Amino acid sequence: MQQHPEWIAYLLFILDLAIRIGLSLRILMRSNMVGVTFAWMTIVLAVPYLGALLYLLIGERRLGEHRTWRARKVIEQSIHWRSTLYEHASREPVNIPARYQSLDQHARKIIGFPSLPGNRLTLLSDYQSIFRELINDIKDAQTSCDLEFYIWEAGGLADELLEMVLEAHQRGVSVRILLDAVGSKNFLRGTPAKRLRKAGIKLTDALHVNALLMLFQRADIRNHRKIAVIDNRIAYTGSQNLVDPRYFKQQAGVGEWVDLMIRIEGPAVTVLKHVTEMDWSVEARETGNFSTRTISMQRAGDLPVQVVPSGPVFREGAMHQLMMSIIYRAQRELIITTPYFAPDEALLEALVTAANRGVDITLVIPARVDSLMIRYATPALLHGLLEAGIRVAQFDAGLLHTKSISVDGEFCVVGSVNTDMRSLWLNFEISLFVYDEEFARQIRELQASYISQSRFIDSKQFLQRTFPQRLGANIMRLFAPVL
């Protein structure tokens, strides 16, 4: 039987060409940001078949038809709760400095939660104090304990917390645990999860993935939030996962992870509880408790706080918009700490513009990161910042995982959002906007302590890197919009 391999090659060529043209048109017609569109077209056109497969798997914000339907239902069910919260908030004066009132309005319009007065915030800047405070609060829990985290991994203080959760459940506390299916895969498959389920504790994974589901939903959209709510009275959020840095990713060669959490008392706890209720309702497929009786405006302090959740079920690019707003609001000083720095051109231009109008900007990033792509993409993105006079400090005392922004020592943002496109556009994240000069000063002092453990990049030396170094970094820069 005569074979015609040339016909097979011809058909493969035609198929590849059709796929590239078809997907390129689809990418163009989706009207994404220019950087994202260009990055995906580069991947699809430059890499036969594999580029198309990558785009089909992670190129669009697909949550899956059923999860999207459930999320919409939950949002509908919570509309009355939100409107009642606004009614309560309208009766409580919030002392927000005049030049930040438009930011408050921006966040409330695109996210849906108002700033609330009367909060007390406690800054916890090391993992020992974070775990000790959280364990003590769970020990004192009387009615409920909700934990929603990207990663829970066994070892050290994370095991002590597990024991306290089991003890709380045994004495009648209602415990619910929501963990990201990818970030916490080892925990969910291991003995700790079996112990929790055997004890009768409600434990479920967020954004479950498998080979079949990957055809219908993106596997890399993750629930990156870190939230604990106890008795609807105390809450925690920030950047710390339920991991003990002494045991976590020791083989990565980046040192211990450095994080912060905020312990919250006051009306903001109500909103964080509502966020966990919505997420639990979607992932556990249970009817959420959106009774307006769960709304508490009981004051615990004087701080105005705005809870800002973000993710695919909110307005697209909401956190990106707010980040731009924050940068343009800076007049004297802007300090950003982030473990993963891979913004798009709009954010880079905003930073350069702020520097050119006289804002003193410091970017603090880890000297070593656990992401290979970020490790090679970030240097190319720093070039224009250094030329504009922005100082870039590389933290040497471990992997700086804290995500924080301070503006003019008057306003600050803390939470789970990295300065990369995945956090700003894709993942489910949580942030606190704190409109208080005293608390912003505390964040500013913590950032200063990070800077004291860092070394600044020498701009002259950096800009004189060899051609191969610059070429490799600039190639990786093309893919920064999709990292």
Domain edges within the chain: 7-58, 65-99+117-305, 318-477
Please choose, from the candidates 247, 292, 269, 231, the residue with its C-alpha nearest in 3D space to the C-alpha of residue 120: 269
3-state helix/strand/coil string of 274-299: HHHHHHHHHHHCCCCCCCHHHCCCCC
* Per-residue pLDDT tens over the stretch 327-337: 999 999 999 99
Tokens coding 311: 């993710």
Share of the chain above pLDDT 70, in %: 88
What is the per-residue pLDDT for 66? 75
What b/e readout covers 115-152, taking b as 16+ CB neighbours within 10 angstroms?
A: bbbbbbbbbbbebeebbebbbebbeebeebbbbbbbbb
Fold of domain 65-99+117-305: Endonuclease; Chain A (3.30.870)
What is the per-residue pLDDT for 4? 61
How many Cβ atoms sit within 10 Å of the Cβ of residue 334? 22
Instruction: Select the more confidently predicted residue: 38 or 456.
Output: 456
Contact 459, 355 (CB under 8 A): no
What is the per-residue pLDDT for 33? 64
Contact 372, 312 (CB under 8 A): no
The residue written with tokens 């405006």 in the block is 297
Share of the chain above pLDDT 90, in %: 67
Confidence check: pLDDT of 249 > 70: yes
pLDDT band at 211 (very low <50, low <70, confident <90, very high): low
Global pTM reads 0.89
Which amino acid type is present at position 257? W
What is the per-residue pLDDT for 214? 59
* Per-residue pLDDT tens over the stretch 219-243: 678 999 999 999 999 999 999 999 9
What is the per-residue pLDDT for 31? 57
Which of 418-422, 466-470, 474-478 has the least mean pLDDT? 474-478
Mean pLDDT of the chain: 89
* Per-residue pLDDT tens over the stretch 375-398: 777 887 898 899 999 999 999 999
Q: Which residues pair with 263 in a beta bridge?
A: 122, 236
Q: Which CATH number fits domain 318-477: 3.90.550.10, 3.40.30.10, 3.30.70.20, 3.30.870.10?
A: 3.30.870.10
As annotated, the active-site residues are 224, 226, 231, 401, 403, 408
The predicted model gives 283-308 an average pLDDT of: 93
DSSP state of 468: H
Contact 401, 369 (CB under 8 A): no
Confidence check: pLDDT of 218 > 80: no
Asked if 65-99+117-305 and 318-477 have one fold, the answer is yes
What is the per-residue pLDDT for 1? 46
165: helix, coil or strand? helix
* Per-residue pLDDT tens over the stretch 55-103: 666 666 666 667 778 888 898 899 999 999 999 999 988 999 999 999 9
Please choose, from the candidates 208, 209, 214, 221, the residue with its C-alpha nearest in 3D space to the C-alpha of residue 422: 221
* Per-residue pLDDT tens over the stretch 100-146: 999 999 999 999 899 999 999 999 999 999 999 999 999 999 999 99
